[in-house]
Structure 1
């Protein structure tokens, strides 16, 4: 079926490659993994999906982070049931990663405080919106953003009370490499000793 890249024919290297690409996407805003699909469980038990922005990766722990408004539906859904799934895809790399795990909400703690301070000013604007995300409004522009003034990025910034960092602790990662040389697909599951890995038919 042709010659695949060195990493695509070895389970350990395939996982390392997939995780390294997620890590690279944190710094490269043009990387396909920079924005990814997140699915939660809605109040009615049906899946709810949206796109979020990758903000941090703890590679050794299989943890990925995104930021959101604490008033959003996804936060309420995670608070009720922390099971989530993530879908990352880069068409240029021909690489898809599906992952399942549990989400932890980081609000008004040291982790959130540092993440909020390190966020770009344009990003912090999102958390100052009134009314909160998903609220019904009478006109398409019937919302506003509070002015941070000199409080930008601090605990007195009007966006700070609404800021939430979300850590996804993944317990299963599935990687699919699509290529003319021959597709490769594998599943990796966390264990107490590390992880178990197996090839799957693509």
Structure 2
């Protein structure tokens, strides 16, 4: 049974809130950017924060990563999440920015668990070749780890929710409309 466009948008908001407070199928998203030559680049990211009032997602990443350079060059991004249990796909489009505010960046860093912070111990930048069979060198300097940490915020401008569990399939697209959202049903 088809849901109303506003109810579909509300379900996406709720699912993103849940995904950033506990592990759900929407916690792991695919983030797409454009490379310097315009080629598409996609990688998995963990959604770590969702500000429902501003429609802004938060993602932690290595400041030396290609995605940071790509976002700074062209902030347009897309994310895709899929819930196999409910058969719902959500595509999110918006503009990303690398957080420059030092205090807010520190707050985001402090909210990460020890295991997540340890991910920034690698001395080499992401994508740097390593010796075959070797592991990248790491350090134990947590201040250096913080220096490698970046917080990316994605201001969502468009939501595309496709429900494949219904017959016929149900698709709703919502776009920012001033301070609010305009949601409408579209052909799947």
The alignment's TM-score, normalised by the length of structure 1, stands at 0.88
**More displaced 10-residue stretch of structure 1: 191-200 or 57-66:** 191-200
Partners in 2 of 1:196 and 1:106 — Cα distance?
28
Deviation of the 1:111 alpha carbon: 1.7
Higher Cα radius of gyration: 1
| 8 Å contact kept, 1:186–1:198 | yes
Q: How many angstroms apart in 2 are the aligned matches of 1:21 and 1:177?
A: 14
Who is 1:71 aligned against? 64
> Using the alignment, how far apart are the partners of 1:83 and 1:28 within structure 2?
27
Give the Cα–Cα distance (whole angstroms) in 1 for the partners of residues 3 and 45 of structure 2.
31
CA distance in 2, matches of 1:173, 1:89: 13
Matches within 5 A, 1:38-49: 38-49=31-42
Question: Match for 2:89 among 87, 96, 116?
Answer: 96
Shift of 1:107: 4.2
Does residue 9 of the first structure (1) align with residue 3 of the second (2)?
A: yes
Aligned counterpart, 1:199: 185
Q: Mark the runs of 5 or more structure 2 residues left unpaired by the alignment.
A: none
- Give the conservation status (yes or no) of the 8 Å contact 1:125–1:145: no
- CA apart distance, 1:182: 3.3
User: Hey, what's the Cα distance between the residues in 2 that align with 1:143 and 1:180?
Assistant: 47
Give the number of the structure whose residues are more often helix, by fraction.
1
Q: Tell me, what secondary structure is at the counterpart of 1:158?
A: helix
Q: Does 1:174 align with 2:170?
A: no
Are the aligned partners of 1:56 and 1:66 in contact in 2 as well (CA < 8 Å)? yes
Does residue 33 in structure 1 map to residue 26 in structure 2?
Answer: yes
Partner in structure 2 of residue 160 of structure 1: 146
Cα shift at 1:90: 0.7
Q: Deviations over 1:46-86 (max 9, x none)?
A: 11000000100011221111100000000011111111000
Q: Report if aligned partners of 1:108, 1:161 keep a CA contact under 8 Å in 2.
A: no
* 1:137 CA drift (Å): 2.2
